[in-house]
Chains A and B, each alone.
Chain A
Amino acid sequence: MSAPLPAARGPVSELALGLLLGDEPRPLPLLPAGIDVLRDDDVQLALWLLLELHHRGLQGVDPDLEWDPEVIRLRRDLEEVHLAAVHELVRDRLALVDPDDDLSAQIATLLAQDDGPSVADFLARRADAEQFRDFLRQRSIYHLKESDPHAFVVPRLDGPAKVALAELQYDEFGAGRPAGLHSLLFAQALQACGLDPAYGAHLDEARASTLAVNTTMSIFGLHRRWRGAAMGHLAAFESTSSLPCRRIATGSRRLGLPDALAAYYEEHVEADAVHEQLAVRNICMPMVAAEPELREDVLLGVAACLALDALAGREQLELWHAGVTQEVPA
């Protein structure tokens, strides 16, 4: 099922939507100086739309546009400014890494410095049911295509790292049981909570920082050149999942939300305790052993995951603390 087309949020997303609906190509307008592209609704929505052509597609959009040169040109222009912002965002984190450490110690250094605010703690202890639903709407942008961005990397690897990535993804994709697909479990949890489980249903409510988490994953996954960053991202994502998922499940049970929701998060406590070991020890380490030049990219991916999650988490908590449960972009 493809995503419905969202409303434009400014000139850049308007340009992207126009291109997707058959308008004559126009050059990307000059972005304002000092623009924070990772928190810019307009840029992030445009980038998300263009990347989505490679995932599930968009309703009413010609699927051939996936490889249209003008569409790719706009996507590349936006990816360039996005990646420059990601590099800037993680520079201080990466400076903490000891270049003489082995890879697992370097990843551990980055994970230990994680300063992300705890959305999971808020959900566990304080959130009300509407705040929980607000959180689920934001997370639906990723969880309804859970693990898809990292799947693009499978054919770009070989040897033990490829085997371990396939093993991890087999689990994400239901371990041979369609009913076990993690994206389906999330859709069922949404439905049980009275939220629309359709793919892309909450796109108009997705904040820039939520979209930036997703666009970063898709860029890393889609470009063979960023396969190291994609796997570093996966390692950080899985390594910061088990404990927060347990807290989120606790919050869900505290509020008496449907069992399907707590069950989804409890499944991830166990699954991601396995996946974090696979991602660090059985994917990133053999991958870098085979291709040592990927080490820096792996660390970039780890830091990008942590920094973008922290950005999105901080924004979410600020909104909750300000008493705004849901922000719909103008």
Chain B
Amino acid sequence: MSRATPAQVSVERCPGGPILVRGADVVRDAGGTEHEVTRPVVAVCACGMSGRAPWCDGTHKVVAAKGAG
């Protein structure tokens, strides 16, 4: 059985925050390691500071606050 339409992956940039990804099965990080997507939408770290990379853990807010101070 084939799919009527191919799976669609969409990407949404959040200003100052992560990248929201919908419809992906895996996210491959800079080192080539594949991370399985287990939730309907994932937030991929865009600041490079996450402690749970490749996923966003909110650290960008701490970085922004320190930068502003």
Contact = CB atoms under 8 A, between A and B. Distances in A.
A236 to B, nearest CB: 14
A281 B17 CA distance: 11
Specify the main secondary structure of chain A where it touches its partner: helix
A171 B17 CA distance: 20
Contacts of B1: none
Contact of A273 (B12, B40, B43, B62): B43
A281 B57 CA distance: 17
A274 B41 contact: yes
Given A269-B57, A276-B58, A277-B14, 13 more contacts: A170-B40, A171-B40, A242-B56, A243-B58, A246-B51, A270-B43, A270-B55, A273-B43, A273-B57, A274-B20, A277-B17, A277-B18, A278-B20
B39 to A, nearest CB: 5
Given A277-B20, A281-B14, A171 B57 contact: no
* A-B CB proximity, top 4 nearest: A242-B58, A273-B56, A274-B43, A273-B43
Interface of A: 167, 170-171, 175, 242-243, 246, 269-274, 276-278, 281
Contacts of B42: 274
Contact of A274 (B52, B56, B62): B56
A171, A175, A274 — most chain B CB neighbours (10 Å): A274
B50 to A, nearest CB: 9
B43 A277 contact: yes
Nearest to A274: B43
23 contacts: A170-B40, A171-B40, A171-B41, A175-B39, A242-B57, A243-B59, A243-B62, A246-B51, A269-B52, A269-B58, A270-B43, A270-B55, A271-B39, A273-B18, A273-B56, A273-B57, A274-B20, A274-B41, A274-B43, A274-B56, A276-B58, A277-B14, A281-B14
A302 B40 CA distance: 25
Interface in B1-39: 12, 14, 17-18, 20, 38-39
Contacts of A175: 38-40
A242 B56 CA distance: 9
Contacts of A276: 58
A246 B62 CA distance: 13
Contacts of A269: 52, 57-58
A270 B40 contact: no
Contacts of B41: 167, 171, 274, 278
B63 to A, nearest CB: 12
Contacts of A243: 57-59, 61-62
A278 B12 CA distance: 11
A53 B58 CA distance: 36
Nearest to B22: A167
Contact of A270 (B14, B17, B57, B62): B57
A273 B51 CA distance: 12
A112 B51 CA distance: 22
A242 to B, nearest CB: 3
A276 to B, nearest CB: 8
B57 A246 contact: yes
A270 B52 contact: yes
Most buried by B among A175, A242, A273, A277: A273
Nearest to B19: A277
Contacts of B18: 273-274, 277
Contact of B58 (A167, A170, A246, A281): A246
